[in-house]
Amino acid sequence: MRKNALVFAVAVAFTLAAGAAAKKSDAKTSGPTPDKALLQKLLDGWNTMDPANVAQYYEQGPHTFFDIAPLKYSSWDEYASGVKKLLADYKTFKLTLNDDADVHQHGDVAWSTATLKEEATLKNGKREMANMRWTVVWQKQDGKWLIVHEHTSEPLQ
């Protein structure tokens, strides 16, 4: 009987320790998830046409980013450089988050999806208006949500 009580006590201790460890790891992933306000803030940064204004939201290093053109970028540095060249032809550029934005979180990963409205004017005076798709994958690193993948595309008309 005494042996059974000891086994039971050890089992309870392990169960309590596992529960405490699970709560501790959950605390690591708690905190505000990216939301619609953050998504629009990110777009507002892109609207300045200077990637330096959004760099703080992106994981630096080798990650894949898909934009309207070219096919893909393989790092934040490539992405920032390519977009800067693309936006050099624009006089104004504005992306607005549509009301279908959605954000999901699972542990240290979150993903957001939305459609965007683009209104822009090229330096030659030509106006552009488009609707786009936007998917962003976030990862929480050291308490901060960073974008590790982004995909922007425009449907063929």
pLDDT reported for residue 4: 43
What global pTM score does this model have? 0.77
Identity of the residue numbered 61: G
Handedness of CA 87, 66, 149, 100 (dihedral sign): positive
The predicted-structure confidence for 23-82, as pLDDT tens digits, reads as follows 333 434 445 789 999 999 999 999 999 999 999 999 998 999 998 888 899 999 999 999
CA distance 99 to 8: 54
Pick the CATH number of 34-153 from 3.30.1230.10, 3.40.50.300, 2.60.40.10, 3.10.450.50: 3.10.450.50
**Domain spans, the chain:** 1-30, 34-153
Mean pLDDT of 13-21: 38
Q: Are 140 and 119 in contact (CB under 8 A)?
A: no
